[in-house]
Amino acid sequence: MSKATKQFQTEVKQLLDLVIHSLYSNRDIFLRELISNASDAIDKARFEAQSNESLLEGNSDWKVKLIPNKDAGTLTIRDNGIGMSMAEVEENIGTIAKSGTKSFVQAMKDAAAAQQPELIGQFGVGFYASFMVADKVVLTTRRAGDAAHATCWESIGDGSYTIEDCTKAERGTEIVLHLKEEFKEYLDEWKIRSIVKKYSDFIQYPVCMDITRTETPKGVDGEEIEGAGTIEKIEEQTLNSMKAIWARPKSEVTEEEYKEFYKHVSHDFEDPFKTVHFAAEGTSEFKALLYLPAKKPFDLFMAERKRGIQLYVKRVFITEKCDALLPDYLRFVRGVVDSSDLPLNVSREILQEDVQIKRIQKSLVNKILSTLSDLKEKEYDQYLTFWKEFGPVLKEGLHFDYANKEKLQELMLFQSTRTAEGEYVSLKEYVERMPEAQKEIYYITGEDKSSLEQSPLLEAFNAKGFEVLFLTDPVDEWVVQSLHEYQEKSLKAVDRGDVDLDSEDEKKEKEKKQEEAKKEFGSLLELIKGRLESKIKEVRFSNRLTDSACCLVADDFGMNANMERIMKAMNQAVPESKRVLELNPDHPIVKVMGNMYKQSADDARLLDYADLLYDQALLTEGTPIKDPLKFTKLVSELMVKAAQ
């Protein structure tokens, strides 16, 4: 293939501009990213060589080589890892505008400067950090096992790149950075040493560099030869310690080392929120170093996200994202697991079914949940910070992880009618402060606390002093389908079915009043039901309204307004469902309509009022009304008549 010049896609041009000019606040990071990529390539070569030894090509001396050249102004990063074919170069380097990149670019534009570091590393943009310090990048690569084909890729970061066939004697990848004049300090030995020590000391392969030293020749007795001048001596030195951090005792690992390893495995620029380092023995032996991030990853709720933690077997890399090790609701956890029990030739299919993997998963989940439980009990403010970031994801476990349901429900936090802004209540605290007369745990689902606080559905509960939980995450509609009770107290939605809030004496009194109301207004209810027959299932007097005129409620197992909104937002077909219109028999509007009906059952205004009541109920629950023009016209006419 002759040299071909190709254009980056529009999103990639924008991404390059972001990376070069604003993405990274610390330019030293470019070297960490490239060394990390080289380490990953060696990991993959070692793994593939387990089943195909010919890929080693007689060379298993794994290393990453750094080659500064002050005369040429270049810094070369060379590895003998798996390498890439031309198609892989096109896929991984040439065109990175995959499913998430456009979203990433838009998020970067929208995010404030302080938030930007949270997004770094989510879409594999580490390689492009090279353009922060280089005005030209040349990548030469050959895939292991294919000696006849190598690829050369070159770009100056201007929106285009060239790609062509070439020759390369050894497998692996070599990246040559032509440094900008103002960044030539990255060719100094001290600068390279300090970056490798700070960011890549834990890489398990040697990061090497040729070091030149000036010496005076010595005689056979070891003494310097006087007047012999000096000679230059070059020796290859390893710049990193290569200690697998997860295999070391916790007492030997510093906080700084934990932080830097987290940044290596997560490509996050912030420090981790929590570090969990432990070793398991017994039926399953493994070492694990897990991290809870401080901020949710950018792609946390994206369907195409990659999840899981790195899996090693006896220090040999197996897979980058082993999703079999953790359930989906813990997909934000980062880190490494190194097993002593799994076979080195383990495949992806075996990982999904392997008994040892399931045992490791159970142990990891238990450790993470117990860590969160301890944090909640001992450092509540810290736990609250974590919950605000990852609470909605953790809730998914209640629906999918029945085995850990009891542990998970103790970790749940909710806002409620009694919590101030920013405060939360646990289920345990809720039950402890329930009035003696309260029989159930009450909740309401919706978009946010401020709108739910205004709901007329809460009136009777507030009057009784019964606390109502606000469930404002979309996942909550599925959570409550699994969380039926807590400490033998049933969970009850305030917007579904009928509610029983009263003592026996109060119930008798209310039933008596409702019977009287039905006698007085029964025909009016029939008229309203006939008018709204296509929209509602039933009209009845309410036990939950004290001040408002009306509200809409679903059946016990019916679809409420919030669920309808969620399904529409997901572009899902919403099955036709009718809710119940409840009226407050003590409200003046009901009495006014009752008198109008007595005077003339054919009064046309009654039908208009029925429409207004229904639209009013829709508006108070946050549902758009079907005919806003008619609604405003009727309200205007009423205002005119009232003024006259």
269 assigned to a ligand binding site: no
Note whether 579 and 606 are within 8 A (CB). no
266 assigned to a ligand binding site: no
What is the spatial distance between Cα 57 and Cα 83, in angstroms, rounded to a whole number? 13
Note whether 253 and 244 are within 8 A (CB). no
125 assigned to a ligand binding site: yes
Helix 29-49 and helix 189-199, axial crossing angle in degrees, nearest 10: 60
What is the spatial distance between Cα 411 and Cα 413, in angstroms, rounded to a whole number? 7
What is the spatial distance between Cα 299 and Cα 594, in angstroms, rounded to a whole number? 56
What is the spatial distance between Cα 581 and Cα 614, in angstroms, rounded to a whole number? 7
Beta strands in 180-296 (DSSP E): 207-215, 231-238, 274-280, 286-292
Q: What are 206's two structure tokens?
A: 């040697």
Note whether 33 and 40 are within 8 A (CB). no
348 assigned to a ligand binding site: yes
- Report the sign of the C-alpha dihedral through residues 200, 206, 207, 213, in that order: positive
567 assigned to a ligand binding site: no
Q: How many other CB atoms sit within 10 Å of the CB of residue 329?
A: 21
**Length of the chain counted residue by residue:** 644
Closest of 107, 449, 95 to residue 302, by C-alpha: 107
Complete DSSP assignment for 106-151: HHHHHS-TTTGGGGTTTTS-GGGGGGGTEEEEEEEEE-TT-TT-EE
Note whether 462 and 448 are within 8 A (CB). no
99 assigned to a ligand binding site: yes
Note whether 152 and 169 are within 8 A (CB). no
Note whether 446 and 440 are within 8 A (CB). no
Phi, psi of 336 (to 5 degrees): -140, 140
73 assigned to a ligand binding site: no
What is the spatial distance between Cα 619 and Cα 613, in angstroms, rounded to a whole number? 10
What is the spatial distance between Cα 450 and Cα 12, in angstroms, rounded to a whole number? 40
80 assigned to a ligand binding site: no
Closest of 28, 66, 324 to residue 185, by C-alpha: 28
Q: At a CB cut-off of 8 Å and minimum separation 6, what does 422 contact?
A: none
Note whether 73 and 178 are within 8 A (CB). yes
84 assigned to a ligand binding site: yes
What is the spatial distance between Cα 558 and Cα 562, in angstroms, rounded to a whole number? 12
* Buried b / exposed e along 250-289 (16+ C-beta atoms within 10 A): eeebeeebbebbbbbbbbbbebbbbbbbeebeeebebbbb
126 assigned to a ligand binding site: yes
Note whether 489 and 572 are within 8 A (CB). no
10 assigned to a ligand binding site: no
- Give the strand pairing for 134-142 and 150-155: antiparallel
**H or E stretch at 92:** none
94 assigned to a ligand binding site: no
Phi, psi of 150 (to 5 degrees): -130, 165
310 assigned to a ligand binding site: no
100 assigned to a ligand binding site: yes
Give the up-direction half-sphere exposure of residue 228: CA atoms within 13 A in the CB hemisphere: 13
92 assigned to a ligand binding site: yes
391 assigned to a ligand binding site: no
User: Residues within the annotated binding site for ATP?
Assistant: 33, 37, 79, 84, 92, 98-100, 122-127, 173, 348
User: Residues within the annotated binding site?
Assistant: 33, 37, 79, 84, 92, 98-100, 122-127, 173, 348
